[in-house]
Amino acid sequence: MNNRLRCRFILFVCIFLFCITGLVAQTGFAQTGFAQTGFARGNQEKEPAMSEAEIELIQVTGRVRLVGSSPFGQIVITGEEKEWYLSREDAGKLHNLQHRTVTVEGEEIIRELNFANGRPAGKIRELRNITIISIQEASPF
């Protein structure tokens, strides 16, 4: 008898939760009720986390590095004061030139990064459509 009561109670709770979920979805509370917390679906309509600021053709000289870990590693050219991330399409051109100094020309895209709450998180520079101008020999050190 005890098991039968337990089963009925569980069935009642499941039906109750199912009805409450339908009621919440029908009234739209899920989209508007928690909007002040920053975690509601209503905040998805804000601007994306990264927005393109400007695109400019530049020439860059720096050391080719691999940053990140597999399978999400990225090729980066590190200059004296800045770093440029390469697009996935262009990373293959420099993948075998790691730890060498290269000069490339390409489109620089500067993106503003934002945290999930919309506050600024800095800038990231990306190079696209690169052309290799020169490759310096690797130093023994």
pLDDT tens, position by position, for the chain (141 residues)? 577 778 788 877 778 776 666 655 555 544 444 444 444 444 444 444 444 556 788 999 999 999 988 778 899 999 988 999 998 888 888 888 988 999 999 999 988 889 999 899 989 999 999 999 999 876 665
- Which DSSP category does 119 fall into? -
Note the pLDDT tens digit of each residue in 117-135: 989 998 999 999 999 999 9
Please state the domain extents for the chain.
Answer: 2-44, 47-135
CATH number for the 47-135 domain, one of 2.60.40, 2.40.50, 3.30.70, 3.30.43? 2.40.50
Give me the phi and psi of 95, to 5 degrees please.
-60, -40
**In sequence order, which residues have a C-beta less than 8 Å from that of residue 138 and are 6 or more positions away?**
99, 100
Long-range contact list for 111-117, CB < 8 A, 24+ apart? 111/50, 111/51, 111/52, 111/53, 112/50, 112/51, 112/53, 113/49, 113/50, 114/47, 114/49, 114/50, 115/49, 116/38, 116/49, 117/38
Would the pTM count as exceeding 0.85?
no
- Closest alpha carbon to 61 in 38, 89, 29, 94: 94
Number of residues assigned to the chain: 141
